[in-house]
């Protein structure tokens, strides 16, 4: 089977390795393609007049030209050995930032991963669902009065709104709100309403023509023993007919294909027989090649 790694972080954001190291390790691992997807500068995703404070994990906007230039040079250097693509992981923050805005500003990027890391309680400040657990805990208590259903409902509504606005090609770690949930600290992942909303999201993803990633990043970082999304949620995407992409959300080069064998098991358990490989962008659309899981 052929594999790629399209969800990767480098020294341009919160990853540990340089572009060239990531290329070399991808080649050594036998990957057929590699895409760079640093956390997009928030100022380039911003769709409001309000300033958004910088974070240590997002790329600084002034680094973007060097990032794109370095990827372009690597693409030439590795031509014929490894297909290299330029991407970014863009935040959707309700009322503040969106992948659609980033796409308008950077139409030449090969692909964009759309991710919800933050939710915005009504009348409150946005907070990360996947950051340090204390921050999620505080947002959960202060923003949602400790109501798990309100918390998960807001999360799914946010994912749905992001899909509705569009501008991206890959739906990032779709159930990442479970990252800090432990043994059900905030919500029950088996709850019928929670799962039903996930099913509706899958239908929206199909209509939007995007692919869903099966992301091993939480396992690679030792944060959670399963992929994003879970088998149960991935099954909705399979039933809807949404293509699936295996990714590692690597923040270190050694993790570029980390736990891909688990992603394969999860895909099979969810009923998938194929995964997709990126083939570049044409006429404003991402092209995907479907390949059988067997072999």
> Which stretches of the chain bind Zn ion, using CB under 5 A?
89, 115, 249
Element (H, E) at 275: strand 274-282
Closest distance of CB 12 from Zn ion, Å: 12
Of 90 and 123, the one with the shorter C-beta distance to Zn ion is 90
Dihedral angle of Cα 39, 41, 42, 44, to the nearest 10 degrees: -130
Query: Any idea how long the chain is?
Result: 295
Q: Which of 280, 248, 252 is nearest to 13 (CA)?
A: 252
User: Least distance in Å: CB of 76 to Zn ion?
Assistant: 26
Q: For residues 31 and 293, which CB has a smaller minimum distance to Zn ion in the complex?
A: 31
CB 66, min distance to Zn ion, A: 20
Query: Which residue blocks in the chain are alpha helix, DSSP H?
Result: 19-28, 42-45, 64-77, 99-105, 133-144, 148-165, 192-208, 217-220, 231-240, 260-269
Q: Among residues 5 and 115, whose Cβ is nearest to Zn ion?
A: 115
Specify the residue, 221 or 293, whose C-beta has the smaller distance to Zn ion.
221
Shortest distance, position 267 Cβ to Zn ion, whole Å = 19
Query: Shortest approach of Zn ion to residue 179 CB, angstroms?
Result: 10
Q: Which CB sits closer to Zn ion, 21 or 191?
A: 21
Q: Which of 209, 215, 211 is nearest to 230 (CA)?
A: 215
């Amino acid at each position: 089977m052929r594999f790629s790694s399209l969800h990767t972080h480098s020294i341009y954001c919160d990853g540990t390795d340089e572009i060239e190291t990531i290329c070399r390790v991808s080649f050594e691992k036998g990957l057929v393609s590699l895409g760079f997807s640093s956390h997009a500068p928030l100022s380039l995703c911003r769709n409001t007049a309000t300033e958004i404070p910088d974070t240590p994990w997002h790329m600084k906007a002034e680094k973007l030209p060097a990032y794109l230039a370095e990827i372009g040079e690597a693409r030439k250097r590795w031509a014929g050995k490894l297909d290299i693509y330029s991407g970014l992981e863009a935040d959707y923050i309700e009322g503040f930032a969106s992948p659609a805005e980033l796409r308008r500003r950077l139409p030449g990027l090969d692909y964009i991963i759309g991710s919800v890391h933050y939710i915005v309680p009504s009348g409150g400040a946005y907070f990360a669902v996947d950051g340090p657990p204390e921050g999620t805990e505080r947002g959960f208590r202060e923003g949602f009065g400790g109501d798990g259903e309100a918390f998960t409902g807001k999360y799914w509504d946010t994912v749905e709104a992001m899909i509705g606005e569009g501008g991206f090609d890959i739906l990032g770690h779709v159930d990442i709100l479970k990252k800090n949930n432990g043994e059900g600290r905030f919500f029950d992942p088996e709850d019928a309403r929670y799962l039903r909303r996930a099913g509706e999201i899958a239908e929206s993803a199909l209509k939007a023509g995007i692919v869903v990633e099966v992301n091993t990043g939480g396992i690679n970082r030792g944060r959670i023993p399963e992929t994003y999304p879970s088998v149960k949620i991935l099954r909705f995407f399979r039933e809807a007919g949404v293509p699936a992409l295996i990714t590692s959300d690597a923040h270190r080069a050694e993790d570029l294909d980390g736990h891909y064998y688990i992603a394969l098991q999860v895909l099979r358990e969810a009923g998938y027989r194929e995964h997709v490989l990126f083939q570049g962008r044409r006429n404003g659309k991402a092209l995907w090649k479907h390949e059988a899981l067997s072999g």
